Amino acid sequence: MIDVVLTAVCLLMILPLVFLVSNAFKTPQEMLAWPPTVIPNDPTVANFKAVLGDTPLLRWIGNSIMFSVLSTVCILATSAITGYILGKFRYRVLNIFFAIILATAIVPFEVYMIPLYFQAKALGILNTTWGLLLGYLVMSFGIFLIRQNVIHSIPDELLEAARIDGAGELWIFWRIVLPLLRGALGALGVLAFFQAWTAFAWPLIVATTRDSYTIEVGLALFQTGFTVDLGRLSAASALVLIPSITLFVLLRRNFVQGVASTGLKE
């Protein structure tokens, strides 16, 4: 019985995605027909040709990929280093620092988005990838996730044995700590990538020229205050799905292992 329920819920969840891809291949008349068809009667690629010919969609996708990849690398680096220090070094000031990091997690990004914008303007990095990155260099949840994994996955005795053998802190971090955090870092990498990939508010105010848009901002151009170009919007959204689905397929094993192991240890 539970299998039937789960299958039904799964089908309901993927149904909008199926119609999104299906609408990308439909003519405007078939798209508005009732009842809707899942498989187009007269498939066409006109929507894809119009999107790729009339808009710099590939450039927007490239901007989003560059932004998301660099943001993921920065978040993985800052989370791994900070989480390791907070999890394995015993200083009272680190507990205060960790409490401050947790407190920032409950502050909405929109609260400090405007001051951050003026910082980006003062640095002269508006309409650049560096301006986008300014708001996505650190993730407080990522630091928390890595710290918990460091505490529960890496025994102190292992680190002490390496130090007794003469290993330096940098060698220990690179050759012992990072390999043991592979699952957690994989899960965090997927979360960080999708956080940047789906970001809208920050890219909207930092990237103001057409060529510097990310894909989320670019997709908003297909919708005006009174009309929606459903065919082009469906075709563009279907193309945008390719990089994100590819990344999830490649890292799904690390993502599931990282989340599952963290939950069990908590």
Taking residues 6-30, report their average pLDDT.
Answer: 85
According to DSSP, the residues that pair with 228 across neighbouring strands are 223
Angstrom distance (rounded) from CA 237 to CA 227: 17
Taking residues 119-131, report their average pLDDT.
Answer: 90
Q: What backbone phi and psi angles, to 5 degrees, belong to 100? A: -65, -40
Angstrom distance (rounded) from CA 169 to CA 163: 8
Q: pLDDT tens digits, residue range 145-157?
A: 999 888 888 888 8
Q: pLDDT tens digits, residue range 64-110?
A: 999 999 999 999 999 999 999 998 888 888 889 888 888 888 888 88
Model pTM score: 0.80
| pLDDT above 70 as % of the chain | 93
Going by pLDDT thresholds of 50, 70 and 90, the confidence category of residue 266 is very low
Distances (CA, A) of 66 to 97, 130, 190, 241: 31, 10, 15, 16
